[in-house]
Chain A
Amino acid sequence: EVQLVESGGGLVQPGGSLRLSCAASGFTFSNFAMNWVRQAPGKGLEWVSAISGSGDATYYADSVKGRFTISRDSSKNTLYLQINTLRAEDTAVYYCAKARGSTRANYHMDVWGKGTTVTVSS
């Protein structure tokens, strides 16, 4: 069974840092690009970051560029999101999602984890 399980969320003070993890199973992890998508309380989905299957290409939404770093470890089948200089507006459920598609950009997200909650508050 294809599965994604996020972890690492929690309550953090403004300006703090967190590293989110997403453990993947049931598919050849290195063959697929991966994404982080977040959802603030009561709001819609916001794509945050993506990384290629090989890990040599990364992409970020303007809202997080310079503060978030996506990475992956294929030996551990795990995706990461390092979040620095946290702000109140980063409070959200963070989902990891597997990409599937015909080209680098033209893809959909066919498998989603259940999410991990990040709360930024003093």
Chain B
Amino acid sequence: QSVLTQPPSVSGAPGQRVTISCTGSSSNIGAGYDVHWYQQLPGTAPKLLIYGNSNRPSGVPDRFSGSKSGTSASLAITGLQAEDEADYYCQSYDSSLSGWMFGGGTKLTVL
């Protein structure tokens, strides 16, 4: 059971917008630690998608955006494309556990 909670799955049709939530607590997201998001395409290593709550690394399309409020964060994907079908993970630091944590992951299906 991860300290960062994500929905197991989300889906959307091509062109639509989907959001993935990441709910934490006062010892991680709520303590002010940044949230980061990773995309893992099938059979590949994770790739950094969003860092510092809302920043995109070079090369990541602006269809991907992140936000954070209180003890939660969200990843939004607009203009869904078939190539976005992947697993998405949030990550932060937890001061109670003294370690870096990942959410359980969310599988995005493009219908």
Contact = CB atoms under 8 A, between A and B. Distances in A.
Interface of A: 35, 37, 44-47, 50, 59-62, 95, 97, 100-101, 105-115
A44 B89 contact: yes
Given A112-B45, A113-B45, A47 B102 contact: yes
The size bracket of the interface on B is: 20 to 34
Contacts of B51: 100, 108, 110
A64 B91 CA distance: 19
B101 interface: yes
Contact of B45 (A35, A61, A108, A115): A115
Interface of B: 2, 33-34, 36, 38, 40, 44-48, 51-52, 57, 87, 89, 91, 93, 95, 97-105
Contacts of B46: 37, 45, 95, 97, 109, 112
Contacts of B87: 44
A45 B100 contact: no
B45 A95 contact: yes
Contact of A108 (B52, B95, B98): B52
Given A62-B99, A110-B57, 17 more contacts: A37-B46, A37-B102, A44-B105, A46-B102, A47-B102, A50-B99, A59-B99, A95-B45, A100-B51, A106-B34, A106-B93, A107-B93, A108-B36, A109-B46, A112-B45, A112-B47, A113-B45
8 contacts: A37-B102, A44-B104, A46-B102, A109-B36, A109-B46, A112-B46, A112-B48, A114-B45
Contacts of A105: 33, 93, 95, 100
Contacts of A37: 46, 102
A119 B11 CA distance: 33
A110 B56 CA distance: 11
A110 B102 contact: no
A50 B99 CA distance: 9
